[in-house]
Amino acid sequence: MERRFIKEKEARKLLLEFFEKIGIDPQDKRKLNLPIELANIDEYEIFFINKKPIFAKSQNKLYPTLASDGILLDLPRVIVNMGAIPYLCNGADVMAPGIVSFEGTFRKGDIVVVHDEQHQKPLAITSALYNVEEAKRLQHGKVLQNIHYVGDKLWNTLKQLKR
């Protein structure tokens, strides 16, 4: 895998796009700094800050990785019951009956992190199909679209990079 630093102008533009996508104030400099390294692996562009894979781009979508610990703490979360985990970790979207609780607010299209109820570990990065108030009222159907999850191709790639 070849990694290269991206130009500062491109990096700033990319960070602004990422901040906007995840709802972090671009003035909050403590979150992410330049320089940014880029690695192209399969269909992913993986962006590293301080040697950590913070976000990825695939199919023209930009999203945090499950390895971007600090960033995930600032994002809205949905807690799912333990029965939902096998489905979620096979790429299924998050269905209303599996949701135990909502933490934080989000709008349709926002990035939401899914955690399990027992260990509170992040399991998936998802995109909201409804705003939080609408989602809370749903009794059935999809609530969140799965983008990146424990066990997917990106997860396995990032796991191999740690070795």
State yes or no: pLDDT of 30 exceeds 60.
Answer: no
How do residues 41-77 score in pLDDT, each as one tens digit?
888 999 999 889 999 999 889 999 999 878 899 899 9
How do residues 96-106 score in pLDDT, each as one tens digit?
999 999 999 99
Structural domains in the chain, CATH included, are 3-68 (3.10.450.120), 72-153 (2.30.130.10)
Q: Cα(71)–Cα(93) distance, rounded to whole angstroms?
A: 22
Q: Cα(100)–Cα(44) distance, rounded to whole angstroms?
A: 32
- Segments in the chain forming alpha helices (H): 8-22, 69-72, 85-88, 132-137, 153-162
